[in-house]
A and B are shown apart, each in its own frame.
Chain A
């Protein structure tokens, strides 16, 4: 009872020593990187790196489990770097690199772990087993860690290939698919804990598994995992902001669509007793679309600003650009529908599900079927 009366303490007082330690580690890492590699960065890249310090620190304070994830990923990545001893060929010799934490090995582990997580969530949902649901969460966390390690190591490997080849791994379809899996999974893990509703995982992990399927096909059939140097159009610090912002959007919309699917099933009585209440599904759907919309707005604006610098116009009605607008309009419509009495409920859920098709088309359909200025990935 007393608790309800306590005023929330000012943010800074609410932080524990671990929060501060975390911030200190983030800052040390970033400043070290700055002092060591600052000569290779332009002023914008330095600014981005510095802005990353408070962003990550605050993000860690806001979402506590992010801190151990960050530390684990950081520690293992550093270990992997040291295993290379500056020599790429160690990838096929050193035990840890070969089987666990070279970029490709780690990403394949990520794929496997996401697959297992999907199975665990479904088993947990169908058998109403808390244990299985918890295992699903744990597996998802491990997959996220492996995926991030994979990307970090890939980043490092790209520099080992050649100083001029090195770049942040968000530049082709393979890399952004990995990023998509990771961002989607992280956002999901946040809502799962917040709403205490692990059953949602069964649905959300389906869309991640689909992306994993694509990664595997893309790797084995097309060899798309090869690290390629950047084409001149992509050599810009804008990429570092535009692409991740976009993927927060894509990830959020995918979660919303899967929950929309769950909503539609549950409202017809299918799995209804096993899934969270409809209001919860609706609420998470709204929350994710809100995050997605906000980030997609930013991403599109950043994209326009980048285009203004690279192509000579902030808006060229290039197919990718236009489809981003279509996605954005679609979710603007969704948010407005929610404000109209009488249109909510299944209608919104359907709209979110259809939204996934629109989003998927904007994400990969455009690259496969339409041609344009966007050069980061053709199949």
Chain B
């Protein structure tokens, strides 16, 4: 029994310290590390369920694939590496240390003779003299030499590059050190507490203050890495740690307040810097520190490092004007909103929840077409490295919101505050999409000469107003027909057509007209009919604008190109309204921006251990790879000299050096003999 354990222990020791095992471990660790780069780590669990389905989701969860680098099996591999390296050092240390000191002067003559690298020379010199000159030579070559008297002559034992061995210690103990440092910064303590039931991951979406103590970590927690978002003018005394499918709340030993968050931009619109002015207060509310942090410039306080990590909207207040898109009037209603908050909206079309999701003060858009290749030298060379940024433009603020109906269905909208120029005309844009992975489709509302959408809205109201239709139709018919035809049957027919076209359009835009034509008109005549209807619609719409202006006590619209475009754009935009998906349009009138800064807070006591280990690793690797360990022996007897050389690593440099020493020996033996004569 005892011998069996002893035997087992010994073979484990053998295995762990074997080079082949080390090579396997390095390779296995490399392969294992790939897993976490292929599968995105630490995503919300719902994403994985969608990706893999419920069955595989569970299998992968059991395997720890969503957080590979903290999974038990991965840590086991690392543990083996540390164990193997430690055992390896333990095994080699005594030998190597001895070797570093030793000159191996006890080497026997037979073994020298058995060396692969040996060289013999005859000499007439007395051994002492040759030994002295050889020693001088070797010392000049950077060797440490020990000269020994032997019964029938001399032995020189020389060594160089002992630091190679030192390098071995440094590099390999550095590996152990770095792993330990990493472990100190890992979440082992929490894992243990979790297994023992002292701590639990919070998965509910509840206010921070309501998170129970079992999911909170104390300010004295030796290591953590969490993040928190603070709006300007607010403060936080906790950080959130994302773990598995939930989070933990880390109580901080101080309070961080954000005074201001700033973004600077390059002239091209790309972000140039992110900075936060922060203040730290202790628990009693006394200010302890004030600093500006930026990317690459963290603040370290109380061993906690505070980093600029991200930014977001911190609850910008929005003043909006709501338009009822399908009302025959142009009455508007005011709405106040705050980003990240919800409002309910009661409208004729039902009740909605308005969820304000974001506000962006800048939007840099590419407004240009393709640049043509000019075919000159520059294009042969791939073009100028100075990029052409003429097409990039800041198109101003925009805000995003979701409109959720009573059934819980939501569409997402993105409205610009300022008009955009497209094809030479100006529009106010509102984007809509059904799901986050679609891109926005835009409703373009034309501006009038005053730079507002009022004319568009007025005309839209008039076109939707059934009561106005007879008057519009009448005016249209009079305009369209020569005076002789007034009052005739033709006029009645035309009035009827116009009323019909207007009614169809008000019901569903061009789409309804299209359906009607398809139903009623034989195929051969459809194109012609469509052209006629369109013409009627445009002319009738122009009349509608006249009426609308008159009712609003405004001067009649000019019969010019601009009005023509206004009418056409209004018709297009109205037609799009039917697929816009919301009965209201929210126009941004004013905003009061509040930014939020995303901070990361870390405490990592293992960092210095890791850095120190890294320093040792670097030194060790250089010593091992660039200090060549080698030994030379010169055994001198009267009339005969033998040079032998050895090294742990046989490289071409070693061979060259051996040849050099051998030649040197020849020279020395001859030289001394000639000078002795």
**Closest partner residue, chain A, to B671 (CB atom):** A5
Find out whether the CB atom of A298 lies under 8 angstroms from the CB atom of B618: yes
**Closest partner residue, chain A, to B660 (CB atom):** A4
Segment among B393-401, B432-440, B603-611 that sits at the interface with chain A: B603-611
Segment among A69-77, A137-145, A332-340 that sits at the interface with chain B: A332-340
Find out whether the CB atom of A104 lies under 8 angstroms from the CB atom of B378: yes
Find out whether the CB atom of A92 lies under 8 angstroms from the CB atom of B384: yes
Tell me, yes or no, whether A225 is within 8 Å of chain B by CB: yes
**Closest partner residue, chain A, to B133 (CB atom):** A5
Find out whether the CB atom of A370 lies under 8 angstroms from the CB atom of B272: no
Segment among B17-25, B489-497, B510-518, B580-588 that sits at the interface with chain A: B17-25
**Given A229-B268, A235-B296, A319 contacting B37 (CB threshold 8 A):** yes
Segment among B28-36, B51-59, B567-575 that sits at the interface with chain A: B28-36
Tell me, yes or no, whether B9 is within 8 Å of chain A by CB: no
Find out whether the CB atom of A293 lies under 8 angstroms from the CB atom of B625: yes
Find out whether the CB atom of A226 lies under 8 angstroms from the CB atom of B272: no
Find out whether the CB atom of B141 lies under 8 angstroms from the CB atom of A162: no
Interface centre among B386, B663, B664 (most CB of A within 10 A): B386
Segment among A30-38, A53-61, A202-210, A300-308 that sits at the interface with chain B: A300-308
**Given A232-B273, A294-B621, A309-B296, A336 contacting B22 (CB threshold 8 A):** yes
Tell me, yes or no, whether A286 is within 8 Å of chain B by CB: yes
Instruction: Name the A residues within 8 Å of B375 (CB-CB).
Output: none
Find out whether the CB atom of B381 lies under 8 angstroms from the CB atom of A105: yes
Interface string of A58-99 (1 = CB under 8 A from B): 000000000000000000000000000000100110000011
A101 to chain B, nearest CB (A): 12
Segment among A123-131, A253-261, A267-275, A320-328 that sits at the interface with chain B: A320-328
Instruction: Name the B residues within 8 Å of A330 (CB-CB).
Output: 26-27, 30
How many of B's residues come within 8 Å of A, CB to CB?
75
Q: What is the bound-complex CA distance between A225 and B388, given in angstroms? A: 12
**Closest partner residue, chain B, to A89 (CB atom):** B386
Closest 5 CB pairs of A and B: A7-B140, A226-B387, A219-B382, A312-B600, A312-B307
Find out whether the CB atom of A317 lies under 8 angstroms from the CB atom of B305: no
Find out whether the CB atom of B667 lies under 8 angstroms from the CB atom of A1: yes
Interface string of A227-241 (1 = CB under 8 A from B): 111011101101000
Tell me, yes or no, whether B328 is within 8 Å of chain A by CB: no
> Which residues from 297 to 313 on chain B have a C-beta closer than 8 Å to any C-beta of chain A?
297-298, 305, 307, 309
Instruction: Name the B residues within 8 Å of A243 (CB-CB).
Output: none
Instruction: Name the A residues within 8 Å of B625 (CB-CB).
Output: 290, 293-294
Tell me, yes or no, whether B13 is within 8 Å of chain A by CB: no
Find out whether the CB atom of A293 lies under 8 angstroms from the CB atom of B621: yes
Tell me, yes or no, whether B44 is within 8 Å of chain A by CB: no
Find out whether the CB atom of A229 lies under 8 angstroms from the CB atom of B266: yes
Tell me, yes or no, whether A310 is within 8 Å of chain B by CB: yes
> Which residues from 99 to 149 on chain B have a C-beta closer than 8 Å to any C-beta of chain A?
137, 140-141
Interface string of A319-360 (1 = CB under 8 A from B): 100110110011011001101100000000000000000100
Instruction: Name the A residues within 8 Å of B652 (CB-CB).
Output: 195, 279-280, 283
Q: Which of B141, B274, B305 contacts A7 (CB 8 A)?
A: B141
Instruction: Name the B residues within 8 Å of A286 (CB-CB).
Output: 651
B478 to chain A, nearest CB (A): 59
Instruction: Name the A residues within 8 Å of B621 (CB-CB).
Output: 293-294, 297
B81 to chain A, nearest CB (A): 10
Instruction: Name the A residues within 8 Å of B626 (CB-CB).
Output: 290, 294
Instruction: Name the B residues within 8 Å of A358 (CB-CB).
Output: 30
Q: Which of B295, B376, B607, B614 contacts A310 (CB 8 A)?
A: B295
Q: What is the bound-complex CA distance between A310 and B40, given in angstroms? A: 21
Instruction: Name the A residues within 8 Å of B267 (CB-CB).
Output: 162
Tell me, yes or no, whether A376 is within 8 Å of chain B by CB: no
Q: What is the bound-complex CA distance between A220 and B381, given in angstroms? A: 9
> Which residues from 615 to 671 on chain B have a C-beta closer than 8 Å to any C-beta of chain A?
617-618, 621-622, 625-626, 649, 651-652, 660, 663-664, 666-668, 670-671
Find out whether the CB atom of A312 lies under 8 angstroms from the CB atom of B309: yes
Q: What is the bound-complex CA distance between A105 and B324, given in angstroms? A: 60
A320 to chain B, nearest CB (A): 9
Q: What is the bound-complex CA distance between A92 and B268, given in angstroms? A: 22
A sample of 25 inter-chain contacts (CB < 8 A) reads: A5-B664, A5-B671, A104-B378, A104-B384, A157-B385, A219-B382, A223-B383, A225-B382, A225-B383, A227-B385, A227-B387, A232-B272, A232-B296, A283-B652, A294-B618, A298-B618, A305-B611, A311-B309, A311-B600, A312-B307, A312-B309, A319-B37, A322-B33, A325-B33, A336-B22
A51 to chain B, nearest CB (A): 16
Instruction: Name the B residues within 8 Å of A91 (CB-CB).
Output: 378, 384, 386
Tell me, yes or no, whether B602 is within 8 Å of chain A by CB: yes
A59 to chain B, nearest CB (A): 15
Interface centre among B380, B382, B649 (most CB of A within 10 A): B382
**Closest partner residue, chain A, to B611 (CB atom):** A305
Interface centre among A1, A7, A304, A322 (most CB of B within 10 A): A322
Instruction: Name the B residues within 8 Å of A92 (CB-CB).
Output: 376-378, 384
Tell me, yes or no, whether B225 is within 8 Å of chain A by CB: yes
Instruction: Name the B residues within 8 Å of A229 (CB-CB).
Output: 266, 268, 270, 272
Q: What is the bound-complex CA distance between A1 and B296, given in angstroms? A: 60
Q: Which of A226, A280, A293, A323 contacts B385 (CB 8 A)?
A: A226
B560 to chain A, nearest CB (A): 43
Instruction: Name the A residues within 8 Å of B294 (CB-CB).
Output: 232
Find out whether the CB atom of B27 lies under 8 angstroms from the CB atom of A329: yes
Q: What is the bound-complex CA distance between A329 and B81, given in angstroms? A: 12
Tell me, yes or no, whether B482 is within 8 Å of chain A by CB: no
> Which residues from 148 to 186 on chain B have a C-beta closer than 8 Å to any C-beta of chain A?
182, 185
A338 to chain B, nearest CB (A): 9
**Given A231-B271, A294-B625, A370-B37, A1 contacting B663 (CB threshold 8 A):** yes
B658 to chain A, nearest CB (A): 12
Tell me, yes or no, whether B41 is within 8 Å of chain A by CB: yes
Q: Which of B182, B185, B273, B376 contacts A235 (CB 8 A)?
A: B273
Q: What is the bound-complex CA distance between A301 and B612, given in angstroms? A: 11
Q: What is the bound-complex CA distance between A35 and B604, given in angstroms? A: 39
Q: What is the bound-complex CA distance between A21 and B607, given in angstroms? A: 44
Tell me, yes or no, whether A43 is within 8 Å of chain B by CB: no
Find out whether the CB atom of A309 lies under 8 angstroms from the CB atom of B298: yes
Apart from A232-B271, A325-B33: 12 A-B pairs, beta carbons within 8 A: A4-B663, A4-B667, A105-B377, A219-B382, A228-B270, A286-B651, A310-B295, A311-B600, A317-B36, A317-B68, A326-B33, A337-B23
Q: What is the bound-complex CA distance between A243 and B305, given in angstroms? A: 25
Q: Which of A98, A283, A314 contacts B651 (CB 8 A)?
A: A283
Tell me, yes or no, whether A48 is within 8 Å of chain B by CB: no
A160 to chain B, nearest CB (A): 8
Tell me, yes or no, whether B38 is within 8 Å of chain A by CB: yes
Instruction: Name the B residues within 8 Å of A290 (CB-CB).
Output: 625-626
Q: What is the bound-complex CA distance between A340 and B18, given in angstroms? A: 10
Tell me, yes or no, whether A108 is within 8 Å of chain B by CB: yes
Q: What is the bound-complex CA distance between A24 and B295, given in angstroms? A: 38
Find out whether the CB atom of A233 lies under 8 angstroms from the CB atom of B651: no
**Closest partner residue, chain A, to B142 (CB atom):** A8
Tell me, yes or no, whether A366 is within 8 Å of chain B by CB: yes
Tell me, yes or no, whether A199 is within 8 Å of chain B by CB: no
**Given A5-B667, A88-B386, A294-B622, A308 contacting B30 (CB threshold 8 A):** no
Q: What is the bound-complex CA distance between A220 and B383, given in angstroms? A: 8
Q: What is the bound-complex CA distance between A122 and B270, given in angstroms? A: 46
Q: What is the bound-complex CA distance between A138 and B670, given in angstroms? A: 44
Tell me, yes or no, whether A313 is within 8 Å of chain B by CB: yes
Find out whether the CB atom of B19 lies under 8 angstroms from the CB atom of A336: yes
Q: Which of B26, B307, B378, B649 contacts A333 (CB 8 A)?
A: B26
Q: Which of B26, B137, B266, B601 contacts A162 (CB 8 A)?
A: B266
Find out whether the CB atom of A233 lies under 8 angstroms from the CB atom of B618: no
> Which residues from 178 to 204 on chain A have a C-beta closer than 8 Å to any C-beta of chain B?
195
Tell me, yes or no, whether A164 is within 8 Å of chain B by CB: yes
Interface centre among A232, A279, A329 (most CB of B within 10 A): A232
Tell me, yes or no, whether B323 is within 8 Å of chain A by CB: no
Tell me, yes or no, whether A103 is within 8 Å of chain B by CB: yes
Q: What is the bound-complex CA distance between A235 and B270, given in angstroms? A: 13
